[in-house]
Structure 1
């Protein structure tokens, strides 16, 4: 009888811990979205441009060109995020369809290709190579984080 009580207690504890972890992950996503939405696209672009200036040693002319690109990209991302939030609020179903996922992925890849072309035109060879390495590192970090989150589920 004692064994059954201990097993039941262990199962209840395990279930509560699992549920708490899922709730925490949802809150992390919401908090991150709220933090990002507090900044204007111009503020986000300014921070990104300054970071790139430090990392790539950009000239004044390059800074102005990259600032324009970053503002455009930040506005685009913010619009996409707001559209996605409204869609989630209006839908009962929270999951995207296969077609929606495909369209989003294609749009993202098109934006990346355009960004790469613009950066190639603005940066010199050394800067461009360093920028590509930074982008690759950032993507790998994102993949690692995503993999980590999937394992937690």
Structure 2
């Protein structure tokens, strides 16, 4: 009787752990948006937050599309490098980082030329807020691992 009781407890314990593991690891799946849908969503958000005019909307839309195309190109290159298991050298990393910083500076300059002073100030504040949110998310992610 004692052995049967212990076996039943072990079985119930294992089943309950198995159920807990499946419920905690599954994340709600976010819908995958195409680059055009992401750009449109981002443009709508910027339009409401910055009160963009129609001409500003078209200019910012073009800028978002260009930026998205460049990001897609970088992601393809990174995926190709990852598939070939080729680690970038320190010089390649430095060159890529410089290129990314140049792209960011060019993007900021274009946004500054499109937006007026108040809108640009709001946009930079939004950028900083998003950067802080990203840092917090990464910190949480590292602490959970």
- What's the RMSD between the two structures over aligned residues? 2.6
User: What's the counterpart of residue 72 of structure 1?
Assistant: 66
Report runs of 4+ in structure 1 exceeding 6 Å deviation: none
CA distance in 2, matches of 1:90, 1:105: 21
Q: Using the alignment, how far apart are the partners of 1:142 and 1:43 within structure 2?
A: 21
Give the TM-score of the pair, scaled to structure 1.
0.69
Structure 1 141/100 Cα, relative in aligned 2: closer, same or farther at 3 Å? farther
- TM alignment of 1:127-142, pairs within 5 A: 127-142=119-134
8 Å CA contact 1:44–1:74 kept in 2: the answer is no
Unpaired stretches in structure 1, ≥5 consecutive residues: 1-19
Give the paired residue count: 121
Partner of 1:125: 117
Shift of 1:140: 1.2
How far apart are 1:136 and its partner, in Å? 0.6
Q: Tell me the secondary structure at the aligned position of residue 52 of structure 2.
A: coil
For structure 2, the residue ranges without an aligned partner over 5 or more in a row are 1-20
The verdict on how the C-alpha distance between 1:87 and 1:43 changes in structure 2, with shifts beyond 3 A counting, is same
Cα deviation, residue 100, structure 1: 3.0
Distance 1:83 1:75 in 2: 13
Q: Is contact 1:49–1:63 with CA below 8 Å preserved after alignment?
A: yes
